[in-house]
């Protein structure tokens, strides 16, 4: 029998799992892969981005509500989920930027913060791990810290001399960074909307793109998961404080999204197996290794 495949996706806050790689996870769940989402913080300092939920009772219970939303999204995606237990750092704003709150996730020592993730990796034994790049995908301090902690745990989990108290060593075989947006993807969706006679929500993005780096050049792996875009959107809507169901993320018709850009995209950052690039499967090379064991 082939070894059971396992995927771990490490995210900063509840809702990140539904906006980054969610359709890919849903696809692998449907194929029988065990998928575990690790959420580093409780999202306690997040904003309420859905105007319908911007109420005093919501703000008074934001931590509990975001946990309940995570439960709902987890059920939609069909994944397992674990909390790493750190406190949201918030997104500092202003010039100069204010200091981060004492005790928050982004101020932890990386090795200390990575320890509970090492334990989870040794318990769940993932073959593939996904997270954010060194810039956090975007420069939120918790996203950047999530990158640092995941890389540290990936490198420590298989080393028997590091953290022997955290369980039997387990070495994940591949580490990926999510590439949520690229110039080519936004251009494709923008042009598809215009061709269909719709107003594109990406007009301002196209104007600003010259000022930002294009991470499309980093993409090594494109997973065709368009059949699971509706699952992704249902999981997004489960995070009702964070996602306005009438807002930006739902302005492109589903069939147009599926035609214009049917993949979710990733950068292969570490690999201990042979998997020629470009890839179309996060488990490329892993499947062959597991069958050979």
Q: Is residue 13 part of an annotated ligand binding site?
A: yes
Strand partners, 177: 131, 267
At residue 113, φ and ψ (nearest 5 deg) are: -70, -25
Q: Strands, E, within the chain: which ranges?
A: 6-11, 34-41, 80-86, 128-131, 174-179, 221-224, 263-271
The strand pair at 174-179 and 263-271 is best described as antiparallel
Tokens of 41: 């913080």
Give the single-character DSSP code of 94: S
How far CA 263 is from CA of 21, 146, 230, in Å, comes to 10, 24, 13
Tell whether 198 is in a known binding site.
no
- Annotated binding residue 143: yes
3-state secondary structure of 104: coil
Mark the binding-site residues, compressed into ranges: 13, 16, 143
Which residues fall in the annotated binding site for Zn(2+)? 13, 16, 143
């Amino acid at each position: 029998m082939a070894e059971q495949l396992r995927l771990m996706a490490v995210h900063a806050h509840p809702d990140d799992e539904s906006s980054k790689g969610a359709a890919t996870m849903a696809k692998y769940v449907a194929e029988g892969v065990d998928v575990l989402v690790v959420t580093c913080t409780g999202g306690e300092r997040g904003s309420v981005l859905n105007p319908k939920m911007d109420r005093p009772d919501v703000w008074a219970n934001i931590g509990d509500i975001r946990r309940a939303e995570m439960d709902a999204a987890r059920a939609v995606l069909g994944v397992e989920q674990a909390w790493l237990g750190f406190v949201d750092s918030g997104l500092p704003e202003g010039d100069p930027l204010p200091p981060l709150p004492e005790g928050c996730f982004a101020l932890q020592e990386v090795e200390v913060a990575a320890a509970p993730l090492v334990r989870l990796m040794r318990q769940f034994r993932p073959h593939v791990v996904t997270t954010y790049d060194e810039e956090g995908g975007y420069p939120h301090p918790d996203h950047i810290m999530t990158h640092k902690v995941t890389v540290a745990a990936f490198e420590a989990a298989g080393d028997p001399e590091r953290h022997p108290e955290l369980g039997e060593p387990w070495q994940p075989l591949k580490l990926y960074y999510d590439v949520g947006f690229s110039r080519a993807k936004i251009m494709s969706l923008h042009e598809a909307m215009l061709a269909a006679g719709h107003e594109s929500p990406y007009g301002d993005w196209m104007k600003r793109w010259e000022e930002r780096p294009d991470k499309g050049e980093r993409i090594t792996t494109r997973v065709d998961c368009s059949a699971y875009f509706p699952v992704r959107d249902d999981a997004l809507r489960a995070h009702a404080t964070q996602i306005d169901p009438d807002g930006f993320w739902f302005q492109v018709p589903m069939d147009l999204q599926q035609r214009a850009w049917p993949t979710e995209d990733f950068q292969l950052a570490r690999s201990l197996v042979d998997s020629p690039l470009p890839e179309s499967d996060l488990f490329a090379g892993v499947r062959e290794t597991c069958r050979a064991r």
